[in-house]
Amino acid sequence: MIEFRQVTKRYDSDHTALRQVNFGLDRGELAFLTGHSGAGKSTLLKLIMVMERPSAGEVVVGGQVLNRLPRRQVPYIRRHIGVVFQNHQLLFDRSVFDNVAMPLEVMGTSARDIGRRVRAALDKVGLLSKEKMNPLQLSGGEQQRVGIARAVVNKPPVLLADEPTGNLDPQLSADIMGLFAEFSQVGVTVLIATHDIGLINDLGRRTLTLDQGRLVAGAGGLHG
């Protein structure tokens, strides 16, 4: 589902963020991405989201080589990629329902389908009863789950998360990870960037480790 082939990303002549990175993630695989601050984790996620383009090598998502993707097609690719951020980027002047509905509104989904799908996503994260509330009225863990509902509301085959449990206590973090594991079980490819080694060790999943832009552990082919 996601493949990096000898990917190098240089921001300028003396700043190489990723060096010849190779790995593949299958459909339904859940993996962690870790490494020191500045190791290149965000850069790797940005290449998958086509927020950045590689300087060399190829990034392939869903069989499509993103390097050659014309700019006008970038929004279509992004629809296939759900993203969860640490600070969840919710809008506090809208209800929980409206926050989750945003990706569907951008796609021009009918009001009836929006209602059905938003409620299915909120049900999945256990927040169906809070759809009319303002996100400010929710706890940090609940806000993060609204962010997850929004990321999955259009059923993307790929889910990326950047420090999704950064501000949460261990129990809430475990709950969030449980949700990610459920998505992977239904075929979503999940890649989670985190510094939280405890979380990684608890789950015993494949871990891609970056060190100064090099993938030093967890590399491998689509089935390795």
Ligand X SMILES: Nc1ncnc2c1ncn2[C@@H]1O[C@H](COP(=O)(O)OP(=O)(O)OP(=O)(O)O)[C@@H](O)[C@H]1O
Q: Which stretches of the chain bind ligand X, using CB under 6 A?
A: 11, 15, 17, 35, 37-43
Distances, alpha carbon 139 to alpha carbons 130, 135, 136, 168, in Å: 12, 8, 8, 10
- List the alpha helices (DSSP H) in 83-169: 96-106, 111-124, 140-152
Among residues 137, 26, 148, which one has the least CA distance to residue 92?
137
Q: C-beta of 124: minimal distance to ligand X in Å?
A: 28
Task: Between 17 and 127, name the residue whose CB sits nearer to ligand X.
Answer: 17
Q: C-beta of 96: minimal distance to ligand X in Å?
A: 28
Q: C-beta of 193: minimal distance to ligand X in Å?
A: 7
Task: Between 56 and 102, name the residue whose CB sits nearer to ligand X.
Answer: 56
Which amino acid appears at position 145 of this protein? R
Per the listing, tokens 């951020």 go with 85
Task: Between 99 and 194, name the residue whose CB sits nearer to ligand X.
Answer: 194
CA 181 to chain centroid, in Å, comes to 13
Written as six digits, the tokens of 84 are: 């969860």
Q: C-beta of 190: minimal distance to ligand X in Å?
A: 18
Task: Between 154 and 212, name the residue whose CB sits nearer to ligand X.
Answer: 212
